[in-house]
Structure 1
């Protein structure tokens, strides 16, 4: 197998694993990942020697992608809109991300591994969006990143628990009204 084939298999495994574990959490199997990716289980384990290693890679990729999206929003013309839109995107994206994170914890993944590093980068990038939105006068200045992250986690957990899109959107409106500056 060529190096490019191996890289293609690795990328395909990550994409499929994100889908499989995002939908099935800990109950999902590496065998299902291999089957859907069109590779043998040995190929999966050659790239990721344990289920935890595969989940760590998936979650790291997910956090890195989210941080990249947040960084792209950091230069927006309307920093307030960029902050609120990204917050809403994170909540809408949360159900499968939480399922993957919980599967990683169940599989014995490290609390200080690459996913944790990528998560901190995402956290810091959300902080940049918050600071820009506050500087633009769109978000209250008496709110700090820990409070915003607590709201983000709460709304994300509610979305993971299965509240429907209508309740999620109304809840976000309430949160955003509380974060917005008052005229």
Structure 2
């Protein structure tokens, strides 16, 4: 059975690290000063109390697939796709955003004129549930926030109660899938790169 089939390689990017913030001291009419120094060797970014600066990219610890697919059949224009998991293992919430959706240079130049494709996400704190990637056979993807995953103990904020039971943690998980339609009378093998960005959300 002939199918419209596409394989997507998922690439990721993270925002630049943040500067540490601490209280200052003023040295006036004195010739010396002491600064308390705390060091952590082997900091574990899955723990909310890890000594990592707020907003630093070192908080980012997300599990996601390296490849994804969508397809349809010549007898059915509806596009189908598996559901893929996104899991935040970090001690801080992580915001996931769409950066870009890039076609392979080997893709067919003649795509179906009714080819529509969306990226659909679910999660505890969804910003954009459905994002258009292709509309009428032309790329339509625009950068934008998708969702925010809670940290490894279900906290979206420092004031939230942590979930002590690892098997009961749910808010750190999200999903994505592809949907849409296209009329294809023969096999069209397409390839794209779905590029995402991650940002560690500061605990206020």
Q: Under a length normalisation based on structure 2, what TM-score does the superposition of the two structures give?
A: 0.27
State which structure, 1 or 2, has the greater radius of gyration over its C-alpha atoms: 2
Larger helix proportion of the pair: 1
Higher normalized contact order (CA 8 Å, seq sep 6+, divided by chain length): 2
Larger strand proportion of the pair: 2
Q: Under a length normalisation based on structure 1, what TM-score does the superposition of the two structures give?
A: 0.29
